[in-house]
Amino acid sequence: MRGPKRAGGERSNAWSESKYTNQTRFDPLDSEIPSWRFRGRPALGVKVEGREDLPIFVRNLHAAFLRPFGPSDVAEVIQAVPAAFLFALEGVFLLGGSLKQIRVAKTQLFHYGCYGLRRIYLHAFPRSLLHQRLTRRPKPSVLHGYMRAGATCIQQGGTYRLSFTETSLRRFFLHDVLLHELGHHVDRRGRRHGQRESESYARWFAEAQARNLACSGRSTNFSEAVRQNA
């Protein structure tokens, strides 16, 4: 999943050259993934019915980045979705950020998260991107995700100012990015879409699961978001 390059945000994964999957590693923003082998113990093991605990790994956070959620927040979302969606998922990995990513984020699309090889990766968020100047309004589907989380996008002259608080950023990662990447996992297991259809499916999956979890009250994170955005 990608964010805006001073323009409308797009979604992506670790194997993408654009917003779609083509199995090609390319981006310095993903360079943290192969260099960090996650060989240590997980920060948390999530109890999942019908399978062994799902590990959540956490890398030390770089000072220039934010991670306004922790492994327990991710675990709450994971435990609230049907266990069948987690089949063969090897883990969730919370990245820490790097100076290289800070440099690249100034000129390229930022990756909120990505999926590859049965693993979900959630990127740390550069503090410098809490307030972003966009050259055009984000696409409606992307803007809807931002607004649902509580972010603001205000037109100022010929540009748009996208702003997150730590609270809205936390909601966005948990309610949108995490579920979007889980949607890619479900799609890869059971469906054979083209690139565009795969992205559409992951977006639909995230929105549907967010609504289901909020309505059921199975996740306090989702219920809180519904109350505050009603």
Report the greatest alpha carbon distance in the chain. Answer: 54
Residue 213: which pLDDT band, with cuts at 50, 70 and 90? Answer: confident
Q: Which stretches does DSSP call E strand in 135-217?
A: 152-156, 159-163
The amino acid at residue 38 is F
In whole angstroms, give the CA distance from residue 122 to residue 93.
6
Q: Retrieve residue 51's tokens.
A: 């399978």
Residues 151-157: what's their mean pLDDT?
A: 93
Coil, helix or strand at residue 78? helix
Question: What global pTM score does this model have?
Answer: 0.81
**Full strand arrangement of the beta sheet holding 119-122:** 44-46, 54-58, 91-94, 119-122, 113-116
Residue 39: which pLDDT band, with cuts at 50, 70 and 90? Answer: low
Q: Answer whether residue 212 shows pLDDT above 50.
A: yes
The pLDDT value recorded for residue 116 is 86
Sole residue written with tokens 């996650």 = 38
Residue 34: which pLDDT band, with cuts at 50, 70 and 90? Answer: low
Q: Where are the domains of the chain?
A: 28-229
The pLDDT value recorded for residue 226 is 41
Q: What number of helices (H) and strands (E) belong to the chain?
A: 8, 10
- Contacts of 187 by beta carbon, 8 Å cutoff, 6+ apart: 193, 198, 201, 202, 205
Could you count the other beta carbons within 10 Å of the beta carbon of residue 129?
A: 18
In whole angstroms, give the CA distance from residue 227 to residue 178.
21
The pLDDT value recorded for residue 154 is 95
The pLDDT value recorded for residue 188 is 79
The pLDDT value recorded for residue 191 is 65
Residues 44-54: what's their mean pLDDT?
A: 92
